[in-house]
Amino acid sequence: MGCGLSFSRQDAHESNDQRDVDEETVEAMPAIPKHENVNVNSAVNFIPAGKIAEFGYSKDLKQRYRQGKLLGHGQFGYTYVATELSTGRMVAVKNISRSKMLRPIAVDDVKREVKIMKALSGHENVVQLYEAFEDDDYVYLVMELCEGGELLDRILARKDGRYSEKDAAAVVRQMLKVAAHCHLNGIVHRDLKPENFLFKSCTKDSLLKVTDFGLSDFIVPGVYFHDVVGSTYYVAPEVLKKQSGPESDVWSIGVITHILLCGRRPFCGKTESRVFKEVLRQQLDFQAKPWPTLSSNAKDFVYKLLIKDPKSRLTAAQALSHPWVREDGHAAEFPLDISVLSNMRQFVKYSRLKQIALRIYDVDTLGTWKMHVLFFYGRKMLSHS
């Protein structure tokens, strides 16, 4: 499944200031109205050594499914293809390692992920959860298998090489539909990014489906989320200010739309903290290429999804009515500038490596020449992948 780097609730508890931007930057931002709230993620105690949390899930996975090839791996486990022995149905199985569940909050996160996926079951743009299992080493989520690949990889694999605003709008429309469905059901995803959108099949008209609800949570009216979670390039300003809600999903879709139209992210930086400062302070530059060649509707749409004040930003439901994204809308049909796909190809090739570098290495302390060495070997690694 997606292997982009995310920071979790457990990360936030293990390093409370790891993802803070400087106070001066935060103070310069317009104040977000505050509500009375409770930090529901305040548990910081460890699970006693030797104690295994019981989830109440079935324990006969290996008697019912045969393991196949590896699909991907992440911070807390890995995902592989499996075959249901009784039916021959192919599924994806996400393994979540118990060794990573050091705190009660990590256990709660897994239980919440299962509950949320069940609550969203049936929507055509959500990867379906079939059942959950457990043993002494892992919790297993048996899910719908999506064989059409990740979002950006699929776009770059187009054989005709044609890619237009209308193609991008069709993708964004599906993202907004599933975000609106989540929000209507009192759920916020909190980690929307290209790696977490998969195509069901390789057919041209395949549905796009969202996956990875590991950071998702239930919305409580009048209560903000105070933890900083998500993925570096897609995190909203209010998440960094530790007062976020469903509006943060719309921001993430705005960032993805920018990438779909330009081939690059809107906010850049050599370190994670610099990316965050750009998110908080930098305004969009619609004079930079290829924006002058894009339609005014496209610019207006991206602008309204990336408004820094979450209360002024379009909701997912409102965004679906925008003239650029509507099915009968005004997204241009002529091919985008050739530089867009070229930029996107570079973004896909280097983004995973650079996101890791942003978290581990800071050019101010490591030294520029060592960063160059890191990326030199990274390029060699990726060119042979």
Q: Domain containing 188 — which CATH number? A: 1.10.510.10
* Residue scoring higher pLDDT (359 or 103): 103
* Residue scoring higher pLDDT (158 or 216): 216
Tell me, yes or no, whether 326 lies in a domain.
yes
Tell me, yes or no, whether 254 lies in a domain.
yes
Name the pLDDT band for 349 (thresholds 50, 70, 90). confident
Tell me, yes or no, whether 30 lies in a domain.
no
Q: How far apart are CA 21 and CA 3, in angstroms?
A: 25
How many domains in the chain?
A: 1
Tell me, yes or no, whether 131 lies in a domain.
no
Residues with Cβ within 8 Å of 295's Cβ and at least 6 positions away in sequence, in order, are 165, 324, 330, 331, 332
- Whole domain around residue 345: which residue ranges? 151-359
C-alpha distances (whole Å) from 325 to each of 173, 174, 200, 249, 313 are 6, 10, 21, 17, 16
Short-list 282, 327, 328, 286, CA closest to 303: 286
pLDDT at 45: 66
Q: Does pLDDT of 85 surpass 60? A: yes
- Can you give the C-alpha Rg of the chain in angstroms? 21
Q: How far apart are CA 11 and CA 359, in angstroms?
A: 12
Name the pLDDT band for 46 (thresholds 50, 70, 90). low
Q: How far apart are CA 80 and CA 126, in angstroms?
A: 18
Tell me, yes or no, whether 185 lies in a domain.
yes
pLDDT at 54: 82
Name the pLDDT band for 102 (thresholds 50, 70, 90). confident
- Per the annotation, the verdict on 191 as an active-site residue is yes
Tell me, yes or no, whether 100 lies in a domain.
no
Name the pLDDT band for 35 (thresholds 50, 70, 90). very low
Catalytic pick from 191, 212, 217, 227?
Answer: 191
pLDDT, tens only, 196-251: 999 999 998 999 999 999 999 999 999 999 999 999 999 999 999 999 999 999 99
Q: At what angle do helices 247-262 and 165-184 cross, to 10 degrees?
A: 170
Binding residues: 94
Q: State both tokens at 305.
A: 């999804």
Binding residues for ATP: 94
The average confidence (pLDDT) of the chain is 85
Tell me, yes or no, whether 375 lies in a domain.
no
Tell me, yes or no, whether 233 lies in a domain.
yes
C-alpha distances (whole Å) from 351 to each of 48, 77, 232, 267, 327 are 38, 21, 11, 13, 31
The mean pLDDT of 327-332, rounded to a whole number, is 92
